[in-house]
């Protein structure tokens, strides 16, 4: 995968009284997939969306597609292309900004990169769009690295 490939995140949040509705749209580059929130196999890392500052949060995750990746004897469910996460929750009146974290593991073909964590935010009653270049290019989630990988990262920093 080339370092110029990026996933793009768009967040659009609205509030009516204490009910907040957020649509988080994630565009994946061609050839990149993520594991769904409920992966096919227990060893696969799920995609998880966390939202800060809301109560009674409900996340509707994108529907995965069934795919034969050609490198295993099993068929997997994956997330590809444009993904929409729809979140509803309750907040105090006058909430100005909503934020959260997307945890995921990008994969290209049969090779999966280290898990990633990407922060996002959006004004309520507005849209924020940005590209996350580092998410697919270089920065693994430090919590997922083994001790030798963490030691190597510290030595090169």
- The domain limits of the chain are 7-156
pLDDT in tens, 126-150: 666 655 543 444 334 444 443 444 3
**Cβ atoms within 10 Å, residue 35:** 23
Tell me what pLDDT residue 85 has: 96
Distances (CA, A) of 19 to 11, 54, 88, 90, 140: 16, 9, 7, 5, 34
Strands laid side by side in the 111-112 sheet:
65-67, 76-80, 32-34, 107-108, 111-112
CATH architecture of 7-156: Sandwich (2.60)
The mean per-residue pLDDT over the stretch 17-38 comes to 91
Give pLDDT tens digits for 96-130.
Answer: 888 999 999 998 877 888 999 999 888 887 666 65
In the structure encoding, which two tokens stand for residue 34, read together?
């993520």
Reported pTM:
0.77
Q: What is the mean pLDDT of residues 60-84?
A: 86
More confident site: 97 or 63: 63
Q: Residue 108, SS3?
A: strand
Within a 13 Å sphere around the CA of 115, how many CA atoms are in the beta-carbon half? 18
Highest mean pLDDT range out of 31-45, 70-84, 92-106, 142-156? 31-45
What was the pLDDT predicted at 125?
76
Query: In the predicted model, is pLDDT for residue 60 greater than 90?
Result: yes
């Amino acid at each position: 995968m080339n370092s110029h490939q990026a996933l793009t995140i768009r967040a659009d949040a609205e509030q009516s009284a204490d009910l907040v509705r957020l649509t988080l749209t994630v565009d994946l580059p061609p050839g990149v997939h993520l594991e769904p929130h409920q992966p096919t196999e227990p060893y696969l890392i799920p995609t998880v969306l966390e939202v800060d500052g809301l109560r009674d949060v409900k996340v509707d995750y994108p529907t995965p597609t069934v795919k034969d990746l050609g490198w295993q004897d099993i068929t997997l469910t994956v997330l590809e292309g444009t993904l929409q996460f729809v979140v509803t929750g309750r907040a105090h009146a006058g909430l100005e900004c909503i934020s959260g974290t997307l945890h995921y593991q990008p994969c290209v073909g049969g090779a999966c990169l280290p898990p990633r964590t990407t922060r996002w935010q959006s004004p309520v009653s507005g849209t924020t769009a940005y590209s996350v270049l580092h998410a697919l290019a270089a920065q693994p989630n430090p919590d997922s690295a083994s001790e030798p990988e963490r030691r190597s990262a510290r030595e090169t920093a």
